Structure 1
Amino acid sequence: MARTAKHLLDELTRRGPHQVLRGDLALVGLPGVVFTPAAGLGLPAIAFGHGWLQPTSRYRGLFRHLASWGVVVAAPGTHVGPLGSARLLAADLRTALDVCVGVRLGEGAISVDQDRLGLAGHSTGAGAAVLAAADDSRVKAVATLAPAQTKPFATDAARQCQMPSLHVVGGNDLVAPPKSHGELIAQSWGGPTQLRVLPKASHLGFAEGRHWSGLLVHGKAEHATHRISRALLTAFFLVHLTGEKKYLPLLEESTKTAPVTYETVPTLAG
């Protein structure tokens, strides 16, 4: 029997079948973390860009969740200060993908397929992911959470991106309001794209735990936001990096908790 979007959402909010390992990118000269399934060859991998002022530790739950479903996640811990450069973070995201492809992880038991690479990010780190995607032909899929405009402009870089993209924005985001950030990036995207709004999510709703930056940036960690965004990103990368069509209904159908508000055709098929 065909699975509905709701059933698939419920499935992907739960931890996946893989045990997860955590590593340190600093061992190869790049500050940051890497999360992987305990074993596997030819795995998909993404590099993730952190939000403004946010340490990578605020996304550990997301990284562990993706890795439990078989996706390697590398997250540079660079440019976390108030004057951090989106352009340089984009370069570090590409370097993180180089590391995933070029270094055997997990004592040699884990390898990444160079044809299964993606990018993701939150806030300005999402904008940096768009900048990186525009300059890296290896990237097959891009997902953003509450994407924020950057310099160079993410909207300009988006026009050069032909790979599928998913943009998840918060309806209660006062830092990067959907209409002036995520929606403009989606509308500028050169390839198939989809924009989804989480009606009650704030800008920092996608981050985890507590951090002093909450005094400067609107919002706080939100369990419901984590639950839905993790499921959507997991489905998106499993479909586009591994060819797992089982989760297409979740990506193709609008849901009450994450309605589709903008889409170009055929966004997530094929």
Structure 2
Amino acid sequence: MARPLAELTRPGPHEVLRGDLALVGLPGTVFTPKSGKNLPAIAFGHGWLQPVSRYRGLLRHLASWGIVTAAPATQSGPFASSRLLAGDLRTTLDICAGVRLGTGDISVDPRRLGLAGHSTGAGCAVLAAAEDDRVKAVATLAASQTRPFASDAARDCTMPSLHLAGGRDIVAPPVAHAELIARNWAGPSRLSTLPKSSHLAFTEGKHWSNLVIQGKPDSAAHKLTKALLTAFFLHHLTGDKKYGELLDQPIKGLVDAA
């Protein structure tokens, strides 16, 4: 178990390109492998008040393993609309699947689409997945409830899901947020808690929102998140079985829900 986990914490074999979603009509960032046809892709929802730059390392890491990753930089204010961000996540998938990326030599397979997010962006990913039958897998980080409720939308989600929560998260305590979403999930679902992690453990770098939101970035959480999300999306979007064991077995540093 330790070997595949350690392997996936390191960058993958692909050189990574970074682009701007605004060039095709939506503010945001996209990371892709340097080349590739019929690649998998995920749209990532940012947390409340968080710029997409705070997830750059995770998005780049997934791209280095052959997964196109795109994050809309919309609904970033204090009164952001969950419904609109969910819509922007779906639009991001439209862009990934319908536009040739890079210099035109990168394409995405519309049958290999997923969603992920942090905090309210995770809840919005659930809202988007409930309304989009193209989505084949969903991963959430410190998921927060939304309006409409992500826990209600989870009842319409039949695709596999992975939910990572922080044991010291007082902004979105797992019992009332991630655990409720995972419990209501209609399809296969795994909920794991990082006991020492706070709400912002999954973010990167410094930002003024650290003054008003509990927690701070955590390198141990980053390593586990990168490895598990890479394994999860490779397994469910590409059919790669090599790292599937990481999704079913106990992992040091994680506490799985009973």
Give the TM bin, normalised by the shorter chain: over 0.9
Show the counterpart of 2:83. Answer: 87
Aligned-partner SS, 2:71: strand
Residue of 30, 37, 40 corresponding to 2:33: 37
Show the counterpart of 2:140. Answer: 144
Q: Distance in 1 between matches of 2:69 and 2:251?
A: 27
Q: Distance in 2 between matches of 1:113 and 1:25?
A: 18
Cα offset for 1:95? 0.2
Q: What per-residue deviation string (whole Å, max 9, x for no partner) do you get for residues 58-80 of structure 1?
A: 00000000000000001000000
Q: What per-residue deviation string (whole Å, max 9, x for no partner) do you get for residues 109-162 of structure 1?
A: 100000000000000000000000000000000000000000000001000000
Q: Does 1:195 align with 2:191?
A: yes
Aligned-partner SS, 2:251: coil
Kindly report structure 1 stretches of 4+ aligned residues shifted beyond 3 Å: none
Cα offset for 1:7? 1.5
Q: Distance in 2 between matches of 1:130 and 1:234?
A: 19
Aligned-partner SS, 1:74: strand
Q: Distance in 2 between matches of 1:257 and 1:239?
A: 22
Show the counterpart of 2:100. Answer: 104
Q: Distance in 2 between matches of 1:252 and 1:191?
A: 15
**Structure 1 unpaired stretches of 5+:** 263-270
| 2:108 partner amino acid | V
Aligned-partner SS, 2:13: coil
Aligned-partner SS, 1:173: coil
Show the counterpart of 2:253. Answer: 257
Cα offset for 1:256? 2.1
| 2:32 partner amino acid | T
Q: Does 1:118 align with 2:114?
A: yes
Show the counterpart of 1:62. Answer: 58
Deviates most, 84-93 or 253-262: 253-262
Cα offset for 1:199? 1.0
Show the counterpart of 2:238. Answer: 242
Show the counterpart of 1:265. Answer: none
Cα offset for 1:260? 1.7
Q: Distance in 1 between matches of 2:197 and 2:246?
A: 19
Show the counterpart of 2:172. Answer: 176
Residue of 162, 181, 184 corresponding to 1:185: 181
Residue of 145, 148, 153 corresponding to 2:149: 153
CA RMSD of aligned residues (A): 0.6
- Taking structure 1 as the reference length, the TM-score comes to 0.95
**Structure 2 unpaired stretches of 5+:** none
Q: Distance in 2 between matches of 1:27 and 1:128?
A: 24
Cα offset for 1:259? 2.6
Cα offset for 1:254? 1.2
Q: Distance in 2 between matches of 1:243 and 1:257?
A: 26
Q: Distance in 1 between matches of 2:20 and 2:45?
A: 16
Q: Distance in 2 between matches of 1:67 and 1:200?
A: 28
Q: Does 1:224 align with 2:223?
A: no
Q: What is the total number of aligned residue pairs between the two structures? A: 258
Aligned-partner SS, 2:242: helix
Q: What per-residue deviation string (whole Å, max 9, x for no partner) do you get for residues 42-97 of structure 1?
A: 00000000000000000000000000000000100000000001110000000000
Aligned-partner SS, 1:159: helix
Show the counterpart of 1:267. Answer: none
Q: Distance in 2 between matches of 1:255 and 1:144?
A: 18
- Taking structure 2 as the reference length, the TM-score comes to 0.99
